[in-house]
Chains A and B, each alone.
Chain A
């Protein structure tokens, strides 16, 4: 192989520092700022007022006050509308108040929506979504253990933990709302990213069979180089459509899109910067590979 190779594993100290910093920042952000949970988790009402050009934010608040939903949170949207959150969890009451509000503000019910979530419901759907994804991730890991080896499987779990922490950190930093939908989207894409890691491992496994005159880490680095173009390109193309959705898809779809974009990005980073170095470090402790490292390690 005469092509110049990029020394990813030589950067493992740098990757390690970056990851530690990112994880620390994430934990810090989670501790200080915490996560913003959607109404799905605590019950309440979200009203979307679309096409509300010319209406002031204060008018919206006053209109809800008058309609019997005091103390609402009002947020403007990029396309001249409002998102209003209220603690009311009876849809009957919430919708009646909404109808009074649009009458006061001179808007049309055609351009808005009202979502009301009862108390305890969020727990229900989150539990269901988490159950689904725990089972699926367990199935994936079992598959990896059977088809490859347990060290790959455990490294994949470790990487996944790293990814989840970073993603939560991003949500805490940005202050974006966490809903059951974003959790589902995130975990689906993490399963996909987990697979990204496995593609690298697959190549390492193939190359391990023919491993003689070099060290495990050099071989692992060569494997990373072999799949690198593929990894980068697939991450870019997987990210492009959700990114467009995030930028142009409107408020409702942005929640899904944000989760997908963040998940793909962090997943791509971690398969190169976390999974492979950790796995390599672990494998190099095996006597067989230690011997190889002694013999060929010096001639870099």
Chain B
């Protein structure tokens, strides 16, 4: 049996953590990040379409991610998140974006790279494009290097496949001294002048590139080499007030649920139920504290499915309290002293709750690992909640019952809904 000091120390630690949590999460509206479905904005999942000739490999996805980044850059959105989802998808989130329509058009463009004739310049200074000479699928790779003639200058080297090499020789041979345009998704990315007929399938594009520009052009050229198409799998455009409405309702429902559970526990278990209010408050404080801490590091953002996960864990935390109270009462009924029932009963109850929590945790972990899309938010808050529940049981709820069983409960067993224990036995 643990000495009393250890019990008190555990409670002191928990209370300190509760204090720290409040300091951390208050005000929750600012301290807990909000996901896109609450904050509003555009969320899109793009999936690489596999064909029999070209499987979607990791390398293909690396390149696809670059292309997506390139497209998003063009939108000039401020906070952007681009993440891989599963083996073949990319999740793009643009919170608070106003022109979702433009974003959808840009993100949904085909990534078509063309080399075209330049036939003139219009009055606004834009190039007038002519015939499409070559499409990007003949490019096998592109890299940035120093210009051998002028090492201070950067150049972009392009390698063609054999078909591309032949075509490139013909194209350049017929256009020495003329300008051609490298066009990605109808945007002119670069318009170099042909110096010579180029054979051998290798060409260099020189210009006054900064390192940034050269890298960008390389990405553009590599885009042409992406062998798979990226298509929309999922797109959500969420208006900001709609999300805030949902959040308000979700929080309201969660508080109502918490209140009902607390009332039920007090009605059924009387004093023991009231003790569990403190446990539920500790649970809620630590939960918000952890969510806010994770938000700090950008590891968490509250989504609507996440709220559903939180609401579910409120019930599971109450479940743990009930297990503990029931076991305690049962052991008192069976003739143990309050003291020993508190220590023995709570230990057993924690064993049972631990099993229950672990079983649910495994489900949530699998869901988080394998599932794609909004469901992961549900799994994440559920896991966090379960971990806090276990901590709360071991360090707080158990300590409280043990402490109360020393002096307080024996004085007024009826108040705590326990009867038939040592008090009755002595009488």
Q: Which residues of A contact B (CB under 8 A)?
A: 48, 50-51, 90-92, 94-96, 98-99, 108-118, 120-121, 124-125, 128-129, 131-133, 135-137, 139-140, 143, 180-181, 184-185, 187-189, 191-192, 194-195, 198-199, 202, 226, 229-230, 233-234, 236-245, 247-250, 252-253, 256-257, 260, 264
Contact = CB atoms under 8 A, between A and B. Distances in A.
B257 A244 contact: yes
9 contacts: A94-B235, A136-B366, A143-B359, A230-B326, A238-B312, A238-B318, A242-B315, A244-B257, A248-B256
A244 B231 contact: no
Nearest to A196: B356
A181 to B, nearest CB: 6
B352 A202 contact: yes
Contact of A139 (B108, B257, B362): B362
B47 A256 contact: no
Determine the main DSSP class of A at the interface with B: helix
Given A92-B104, A245-B308, A256-B378, A136 B362 contact: yes
B323 A234 contact: yes
B242 A112 contact: yes
Given A117-B233, A260-B312, A233 B322 contact: yes
Nearest to A127: B370
Interface in B225-242: 231-242
B371 A129 contact: yes
A51 B342 CA distance: 54
A224 to B, nearest CB: 14
Contact of A252 (B37, B239, B363, B379): B37
A261 to B, nearest CB: 10
Contacts of B236: 113-116
Interface residue tally of chain B, by bracket?
Answer: 35 or more
Scoring A51, A132, A260 by chain B CB atoms within 10 A of each residue's CB, the highest score goes to A132
B232 A240 contact: no
B352 A257 contact: no
Scoring A98, A234, A239 by chain B CB atoms within 10 A of each residue's CB, the highest score goes to A234
Nearest to A147: B355
Contacts of A191: 359-360, 362-363
A129 B238 contact: no
B382 interface: yes
Interface in B299-332: 304-305, 307-308, 311-312, 314-316, 318-319, 322-323, 326, 330
Interface stretch (B21-29, B58-66, B123-131, B260-268): B260-268
A241 B258 contact: yes
Nearest to B104: A92
A118 B231 contact: yes
Contact of B319 (A48, A124, A238): A238
Given A114-B236, A188-B312, A240-B264, 7 more contacts: A91-B232, A118-B232, A199-B352, A199-B356, A238-B312, A240-B260, A241-B258
B101 interface: yes
A118 B234 contact: yes
Contacts of A245: 250, 253-254, 257, 307-308, 311
